[in-house]
Amino acid sequence: MTFAIACRTGLSVAFLLSGAAMALADDASCATIRLSDPGWTDITATNAVASVVLTGLGYAPEVKTLSVPIGYASMKTGEIDVFLGNWMPAQQKFIDDLTAAEAVDHLAQNLIGAKFTLAVPTAAAAKGVTDFADLAAHGAEFDHKIYGIEPGAPANANIQKMIDSNDFGLKDWQLVDSGEQAMLAQVDRAVTEGKGIVFLAWAPHPMNATFDLTYLSGGDAYFGPDFGGATVHTLARKGWAGACPNAGKLFSNLVFDLGMENALMGSILGGVEPKAAAADWIKAHPEVLGPWLEGVTTLDGKPGEAAVKAALGL
């Protein structure tokens, strides 16, 4: 089954849930909802939003920090219920694996307009590095290193494949595995010291405002067209949304936008506790609750929107 078919199937599941959630409150066994976070601030932000809303509905969300491969494996084994961070097409191989194992349902496309590819400080772009093909000739300026995110991430695998294949003449370059924050700290040091650095960059993320950066063209074979243009999807382990239709309906309704995620991520990176940042954002934008909670009740069957507003003091 292709991902497109899986999406259509998942959307059908979500459509069928729209009526079921109104008629049937979830069983108490659905109270605990386990979410995966690969340590990316954007998913930390969306998990926090989901957690605030779920708590207001009487659920008990649990967020587990797991690398991308382990997070997906945990969906297959039933240890994770929902993942809000399926970046496509970068994570296609994981979807193929889960679909072949009949281990996942697609609930929603929760973000459009994302992008994800290599970038350099704009000062380096001004010296002629604007495309993947420009990197080799400027290798010494970058210490022949490309800074990635956490080990096991699909984007890192793409970079390593590019190096191993000597594409763009990068056979002597090194991939530096790192977490998001460690990578961005390295970018900050390089920019402050006026040094060159090549790193994974993406939107949404406050890095786009913090740093004057330039996304590199030419990486379509590894990151997709339009500078790694991406959509982000919500997945559930197979059968979970059917067993917990009310919570499943909520996750089929939860959609975000770049402005919202940039704001939330900025707050979190600025030191605000994620759920506090999410609650503050929702209080400032209460109009989002209507669409998110359409057809959704509390765990015990009461009107969902009223309960979440009451929990937030709205």
Task: State the pLDDT at residue 25.
Answer: 77
Question: Residue 270, class by beta-carbon neighbours within 10 Å (0-12 exposed, 13-18 middle, 19+ buried)?
Answer: exposed
Supply angle C-alpha 268, 274, 279, rounded to 5: 115
Q: Which of 15-19, 35-39, 48-52, 146-150 has the lowest mean pLDDT?
A: 15-19
CA 199 vs CA 74, 129, 266, 288: distances in Å: 28, 13, 20, 34
Task: State the pLDDT at residue 153.
Answer: 86
pLDDT tens for each residue of 70-85: 999 999 999 999 999 9
pLDDT band with cut points at 50, 70 and 90 for residue 171: very high
Supply angle C-alpha 221, 226, 230, rounded to 5: 85
CA distance 22 to 9: 21
Residue 114 has pLDDT above 70, yes or no: yes
Task: State the pLDDT at residue 209.
Answer: 84
Task: State the pLDDT at residue 144.
Answer: 98
Task: State the pLDDT at residue 280.
Answer: 98
Sorted by sequence, the CB contacts under 8 Å of residue 266 that are 6+ apart come out as 206, 209
Task: State the pLDDT at residue 85.
Answer: 95
pLDDT band with cut points at 50, 70 and 90 for residue 226: very high
Residue 6 has pLDDT above 60, yes or no: no
Single pTM value for the model? 0.77
Residue 117 has pLDDT above 70, yes or no: yes
Assigned token pair, 153: 């991430």
Residue 61 has pLDDT above 80, yes or no: yes
**Nearest Cα to 131, choosing from 180, 158, 167?**
167
Residue 20 has pLDDT above 80, yes or no: no
Question: What domains can be seen in the chain, in order of their start residue?
Answer: 3-114+229-312 (3.40.190.10), 115-228 (3.40.190.100)
Task: State the pLDDT at residue 4.
Answer: 42
Question: Residue 18, class by beta-carbon neighbours within 10 Å (0-12 exposed, 13-18 middle, 19+ buried)?
Answer: middle
